[in-house]
Structure 1
Amino acid sequence: MAQETSGRLADRVCVITGAASGIGRATAERFLREGARVVAADVDADRLATLPGVTPVVGDVSREEDARRMIDTAVERFGRLDVLVANAGVIPLLSVTEAEAADFDRVMAVDGRGMFLTCKYAIEAMLVSGGGAIVCTSSISGVAGQARQAVYGPAKFVATGLTKHLAVEWAEHGIRVNAVAPGTIETERVAAARVEPGGPEYLTEIVRAHPMGRFGTPEEVAAAILFLASDEASFVTGAILPVDGGYLAR
């Protein structure tokens, strides 16, 4: 897919979590092409080091001190924060009988608590600088039920709910909060699922549920995130934008 650039984020200061791979990496690369100054955060120091042009921050969004440091790095280096992409997450494929309490806690720590913390500190910074835009990564699993998503799906409902509540709470302060809800995307996680027990069967079934008959690409999700982060979406807040090949339209 051709990717045009137009400087839509020129000089905007942006923090992207989960930026070392997948949707986060594609978003960081797209934001850089659009003129943004990007602070890229991830737990994977090695992969983060291969992302050129960003200010890297190695950390775990579920740890309060790390989440705060991601935001503080942007403010200390560039003087403000304009955009947060709260994207970090883990995606186990587990039914409720397969999952343990520790699996639920781990996913909620990263996908739920981590999103809460990064949004919290981003909003505090944006209040000082006069507003901004937050884009959370939810999922089709955060809007509709799916099999084998007993721990991931509820965490993505947290992302969807947090997006809506924060949008209402902070709109009058010039802070927009939206989310993307990707369908199944061709990331490293999907590649891993192809060799996991039950993974190929799961993927064969779920691709049929996407009316377009294929999975999406990280770049397609990054384009939607760019729109929500940009001034083109200046009257959009509280939206959950599906990027799902028609999955939620069934």
Structure 2
Amino acid sequence: MTDEQFKAKTVLVTGAARGIGRAAVVEFARRGAQVVAADLDGDALAVLGREHPDAKTVVADVAQEADVQAMVAAAVDRFGSLDVLIANAGIIPMAPLLETSTADWEQVMAIDGRGMFLSCRYAAEQMVPAGSGAIVCVSSISGMAGQSGQSAYGAAKFVATGLVKHLAVELAPAGIRVNGVAPGTIRTDRVVALETEPGGPEYLADIVRKHPLGRLGEPSEVAAAMAFLASDESSFVTGAVLAVDGGYLAQ
């Protein structure tokens, strides 16, 4: 069933094969969008493509400029335009500062930082001539407030938050809105796997206690927030980073 809010609009989702990105593909398809799903994991992307054959799948590494250019070109070639970018691709390394190497820093900044910049840059290249468009960047509660053990990941998510603020101002005259979401801890496959790992159940119980609503979020709840920010229902919203965090940042 579809509500047709995005009928005839092209939505490009990065990091689309799993978790929040996968939920975004499902949500925008449900709302009638022409979806392009990009991810580095070709095998997982192929599974997604079989389950959602109307979506265009593109294997792409957002840290590589040529790949980003190619995935945007694939969206335009397939559907004729690019109306919405969901810049979701990222990795989540977590380690104390003294255990975080330069290589760890470079990797997360390449994917979560440079990858998001490149995705926004080449999406905007298509949107500016059209005079319209919406970009939603995935930040995090770690990109809004400090947390222990996230010196690399958290800093990269502050890049996402910063891009939202600066690009919202720069691209507004071109009719492009730029917003972000800041998820709390979401029940992705990786988080679910913690339940069977040593110390995982205790870690998850502690995380749940830190969210005032007393539970983890679902990928579909983040996807719904993305769809709102990309839709005409938020037509006077730009430069906002919407927390989808069960009250975590309100404390």
Q: TM-score if structure 2 supplies the norm length?
A: 0.95
Q: Alignment partner of 1:50: what SS?
A: helix
Aligned residues: 247
Alignment partners' CA distance in 2, 1:195 and 1:73: 39
The amino acid that maps onto 1:233 is: S
Equivalence map 1:5-20=2 (5 Å): 5-20=2-17
CA deviation after TM superposition for structure 1 residue 95, in Å:
1.1
Q: Return the letter of the residue paired with 2:242.
A: L
Query: Structure 1 counterpart of 2:39, which letter?
Result: D
Which of the two has greater helix per residue? 2
- Preserved contact between residue 81 and residue 129 of structure 1 (Cα < 8 Å): no
Identify if the C-alpha distance between structure 1 residues 193 and 149 changes in structure 2 by more than 3 Å, giving closer, same or farther: farther
> Post-superposition, which runs of at least 4 consecutive aligned residues in structure 1 deviate over 3 A?
192-202
1:183 maps to 2:184: yes
1:37 Cα deviation from its structure 2 partner: 0.4
Whole-Å Cα distance in 2 between the matches of residues 136 and 144 of structure 1? 17
Query: How many Å separate the matches in 1 of 2:197 and 2:230?
Result: 35
By how many angstroms is 1:207 displaced?
Answer: 1.6
Give matches, 1:24-43, under 5 Å: 24-43=21-40
Q: Distance in 1 between matches of 2:68 and 2:135?
A: 15
How far apart are 1:204 and its partner, in Å? 2.7
Residue 97 of structure 2 aligns to a residue in which SS?
A: coil
Give the equivalent residue in structure 1 for 2:61. 60
Identity of aligned residues (%): 62
Question: In the alignment, which residue of structure 2 is the partner of 1:107?
Answer: 108
For structure 1, the residue ranges without an aligned partner over 5 or more in a row are none
2:137 counterpart letter in structure 1: C
The verdict on how the C-alpha distance between 1:67 and 1:196 changes in structure 2, with shifts beyond 3 A counting, is farther
Secondary structure at 2:47 match in 1: coil
- Residue deviations 1:103-160, cap 9 Å, x none? 1111111000000000000000001222100000000000011122121110000000
Structure 2 gaps, min length 5? none
Partner amino acid, structure 2, of 1:243? V
Rounded to whole Å, the distance in 1 between the matches of 2:44 and 2:25 is 13
Matches within 5 A, 1:153-192: 153-192=154-193
